[in-house]
Amino acid sequence: MLNARPRAPETPCEDGRVSSLDVVAPAFIEMAHRTVYATLATVDCRGRPRGRIVHPYWTWDGRSMTGWVATSPTPVKRDNLKRNPYVSVTYWSPSHDTCTAECRCAWISDDWARVEVWNLLKNAPPPVGYDPAIVPIWSAGPTAESFAALGLRPWRLRVFPGTVLLGEGGEVLNWRGPGEESDNSSYPH
């Protein structure tokens, strides 16, 4: 559905430390799926952040990680993502576990792919799985005009256990894709 990119060595994060995607991706997905809801931020036409709560589902095949979000293709979202296809997805739990995925985002709008994402969400294990038909505007199914999906391809991941924040031990995990600069302008498509 979303073009996979070849795997290459990771590059250091801001603090100079980097963990392997093999370590960070599963840790991120475990925390994200346990937390369930996240804030997804886009950038509007004036360069201002715009956030919304989403219910992503993440997949990891041992080589690449992809997030899937069911959404409505509103003019505001379409405009924001047309101008800037990068999003930030952040989870927070009451135990202060946080994880963030900085991603390149792509609309999934052809019928076959929307059905695939719909079924992926519907068949995902609890607590992250859900039937998109529970949303009234999507009750007509995955090929309705009101339903679209977003594919998220991370270029940077951060997993920050609340135990680290509270001084109780643990490890912050960081990963940045190869060739990724802090301004994320060199993201390969």
DSSP 46: T
Separation CA 91–CA 28 (nearest Å): 10
* pLDDT tens-digit profile, the chain (189 residues): 554 443 444 444 444 467 899 999 999 999 999 999 999 999 999 999 999 999 999 999 999 999 999 999 999 999 999 999 999 999 999 999 999 999 999 999 899 999 999 999 999 999 999 999 999 999 999 999 999 999 999 999 999 999 999 999 999 999 999 877 554 443 333
183: its two tokens: 């301004």
Contact between 162 and 95 (Cβ < 8 Å): yes
CB 33 within 8 A of CB 65: no
